[in-house]
Amino acid sequence: MLDSQSTCRNFCFYLLPAFSLQAFSSAVEALRLANEVLGRDVYSWQVISDDGQPEASSCGLSVCADSSLSFERERIRRLISAPAVVIVGGRNAPSPHKQLDAWVRECRNRRGSLVGISSGTVVLARAGLAEGRRCAVHWEQFPIFSERFLDVVATQTAFERDGDLYTCAGGDAPFDMFLEFVDRHHGTIVVNRICEKAIAYRTRSAGDRQRLPLHSRVQLNHQAVIKVIEEMEANLTEPLLLDELVGSAGLSRRQIERLFRRELGCSPSRYYLDLRLERAHLLLISSRLPVVEIAMACGFVSASHFSKAYRDAYGCAPHQSRLPAYQRERMRSNGPENRTRQIDRRLSNERRPNCH
């Protein structure tokens, strides 16, 4: 990531509001343990916030900052080369910030490497520094990111390395990504010793999956069903016909329908609809896109059809999902039976981990 001949590699961690403490500490711990294993301070880091004051994480704990954004912008102008800049975010989409965007561009112009963690990747994409690059995006943020940044090659992987741009989905994946930095600088033996100290069973590589394998998430054993579901997940914007889906599985339509009912308790078309509704739900709660645009992005031919299907599934109209939780619960208790639990059982049979 940095010049392999340099004796000290410095990282500037910029903390976005409500950043993920888990993601931030995972990255810093990888560097700290590397110094401990190597017996000297090879890596150094500093923390930056917008105003230089402590920044509150998503869990409410605050981290003290070493300097402010304005100070760093002034300092970078006096440097020949920039340190590696790490933008640490969380679940929330970052607010527009022209000074922050300008700073990361200035760092890039001075040949500084850029790292985006969780929603920190949005900042890099927003600044125009990720066009045509592979970027790891958390699966919950993936729908809106893909809709907003069409020129970015977004992936649902743990982390990605594309030249001097590094991106990470969040959670504990930054630990793996920063260990790759250490591996490139000091080799696998050092990384293995770090993992022993951290009680880390394994590390992921760039491009490794974020979520559990599909057969683990939905408790499936039949490869034909898994292949059909993978085709569904890859074609949510423009849904395929069932005959097109079953062709990739090598079975007849009747066989696939029978397998879906046996394995998942529903028809393939019902499962496909639930996948599209889940994507729509993520777009509704994580973006300000108009409902009609979300309907089109999830393969619905009309807003009225989408609204009816969404209400049947989530117990409220699409626009009402953007209301505060207590108002949604009040409407659900007074409205028709909520089918969210049924969708959850069919889609995953899992409890989604909190990666932020």
**All structural domains of the chain with their residue ranges:** 9-198, 214-347
What dihedral do alpha carbons 50, 51, 57, 62 form, nearest 10°?
150
Cα–Cα nearest to 104, from 80, 78, 128: 128
Bigger pLDDT: 82 vs 351? 82
Q: Is the pLDDT of residue 102 over 90?
A: yes
Whether 256 shows a pLDDT value over 70: the answer reads: yes
Other CB atoms within a 10 A radius of the CB of residue 97 amount to: 15
Residue 341 pLDDT > 80, yes or no?
Answer: no
Name the band, by pLDDT with cuts 50, 70 and 90, for residue 353.
Answer: very low
The 3-state DSSP class for residue 213 equals coil
Could you tell me the fold of the domain covering 214-347? Arc Repressor Mutant, subunit A (1.10.10)
What percentage of the chain reaches a pLDDT higher than 70? 83
Name the more confident of 67 and 229.
67
Cα 62 from Cα 58, distance rounded (Å): 9
Average pLDDT over every residue of 269-279: 91
Across the chain, mean pLDDT equals 84
Lowest-confidence segment of 78-92, 181-195, 218-232 by average pLDDT: 218-232
Residue 219 pLDDT = 54
pLDDT band at 279 (very low <50, low <70, confident <90, very high): confident
pLDDT at 2: 43
pLDDT at 217 exceeding the cut of 60: no
Return the pLDDT at 350. Answer: 44
- Where is pLDDT greater, at 302 or 288? 302
> Which among 300, 264, 267 has a CA at the least distance from the CA of 283?
300
- Into which CATH architecture does domain 9-198 fall? 3-Layer(aba) Sandwich (3.40)
Specify burial of residue 332 (Cβ count, 10 A radius: 0-12, 13-18, 19+).
middle
More confident residue, 189 or 203: 189
Q: Which of 71-85, 228-242, 329-343 has the lowest mean pLDDT?
A: 329-343
pLDDT in tens, 129-157: 999 999 999 988 888 898 899 999 999 88
Residue 129 to residues 105, 116, 144, 162, 262: CA-CA distances in angstroms? 7, 11, 18, 11, 47
Per-residue pLDDT tens over the stretch 6-40: 445 899 999 999 999 999 999 999 999 999 999 99
Per-residue pLDDT reduced to its tens digit, 43-95: 999 999 999 999 999 999 999 999 999 999 998 888 777 889 999 999 988 99
Is residue 222 very low, low, confident or very high in pLDDT (cuts 50, 70, 90)?
Answer: confident
Residues 6+ apart with CB under 8 A from 93: 119, 122, 141, 144, 286, 287
pLDDT at residue number 7: 41
User: How far apart are alpha carbons 216 and 353 in whole angstroms?
Assistant: 14
Give the pLDDT band (50/70/90) at residue 209. Answer: low
